[in-house]
Amino acid sequence: MGGALLEYWKRGDESFTIVDPFLENAPEGVTLVKDRAALGDKRFDVIIVAIKPQMIDDILPDYAPVLADDGYVVSMAAGAGIARISKVMATGDEPAPVIRIMPNLPAFVGKATNGLVAGPGVTDDQRKHAHAMMERTGTVVEVDDEDQLDRVTAVAGSGPGYVFELARAYVAAAEGIGFSHEQARALVLGTLEGTIAMAIDQDDQSLEDLRNSVTSKGGTTAAGLDALNGDGAVSRKFEETLEAAYTRAVELR
């Protein structure tokens, strides 16, 4: 995920350095070093945490001295709270300002939906800078606290999995009424892409109004919608899906 985001981050005015003992090549224009020692006495305006949460306490303290006096930390380490990262990145008695982000899989094609929450001590300029960086990868939704970021995880972080599963079932159903897999995939993905584009373009209309605009009384769409969610089963299933994902996100804090 970090590599996918970096491809879009580096389109800004900043220069980037990666520390990774296993990576062989970095994206064009990005500096790659193998360990902390290779940084020497350099200091950075932003340190981006893109490691597993269980590695934080062992690895991050060594990087506290390379954070500039007016710098801040961006973390995408799921399950690692702001207070924990701020503490291990502290210089002296001063906790480091930390912004947590929650990107999702479409970052690989520059269509991420990112959650962002700023911790204590983050300046308005730092928040705006992080927001601008994330906008290069897609859209940004800023939230007020880390509990809301867990809810972003349930909706958007895990969301591509739900959409892929719905598309898979939709394609399978299209095959079931006589289309080849290639035909079914083209019909379903094209329909999803066009419908989402229309909903985004016509954001002055509610999704209910858009649905009704294609639903004639007694027509094929009405029959299909009645079979799909006439009893509210799909609505209830989505509620259960998001609640389950949110509960798990809380458990992983």
Binding-site annotation: residue ranges: 50-53
| Spatial separation of the C-alpha atoms in residues 241 and 43, rounded to whole Å | 43
Binding-site annotation: residue ranges for NADP(+): 50-53
- Residue 251's region, left for phi above 0, alpha for psi from -120 to 50, else beta, is alpha
- Residue 92's region, left for phi above 0, alpha for psi from -120 to 50, else beta, is left
Q: Count other Cβ atoms within 10 Å, centred on residue 16.
A: 17
Residue 82 half-sphere exposure, CB side, CA atoms within 13 Å? 23
Token look-up 């909706």 returns 155
